Amino acid sequence: MYSGNSLRRTHVIEIESFINIHKVYRENRKVLNKRWLDESLTRQKNLLSEINLKRMGPEVYEKIQKTEKLTFLKSLDSIH
């Protein structure tokens, strides 16, 4: 059985990787194009689909996906 912390950690993997993909894209925009970003997000989704993530508060991830400025956060802890 997962503890509450384990559940949060598994969901954090999804959100933190999304934020970091956007960070890498922004920092390397001169050499990366939008296609790289789209392909990276697709790879992230495919990889995470193979991991049994326990979902907690999907509204947090949905908000980050829809609000670009939230991808500038240094870590998910900044949301708390």
The pLDDT score that the predictor gives to residue 6 is 47
H-helix segments, 1-80 = 4-27, 34-49, 58-66
Residues of the domain holding 54: 4-72
Contacts of 77 (CB under 8 A, 6+ apart): none
Confirm whether 80 is domain-assigned: no
Confirm whether 50 is domain-assigned: yes
Tell me the pLDDT tens digit for each residue of 26-67: 999 999 999 999 999 999 999 888 877 665 567 777 887 888
Separation of alpha carbons 52 and 7, rounded Å: 11
The pLDDT score that the predictor gives to residue 1 is 40
The pLDDT score that the predictor gives to residue 12 is 79
CB atoms under 10 Å from CB of 68, counted, come to 10
Per the structure, how many domains does the chain have? Answer: 1
Confirm whether 77 is domain-assigned: no
Tell me the pLDDT tens digit for each residue of 2-28: 445 544 456 778 888 999 999 999 999
Measured CA angle at 40 (ends 38, 45), to 5 deg: 95
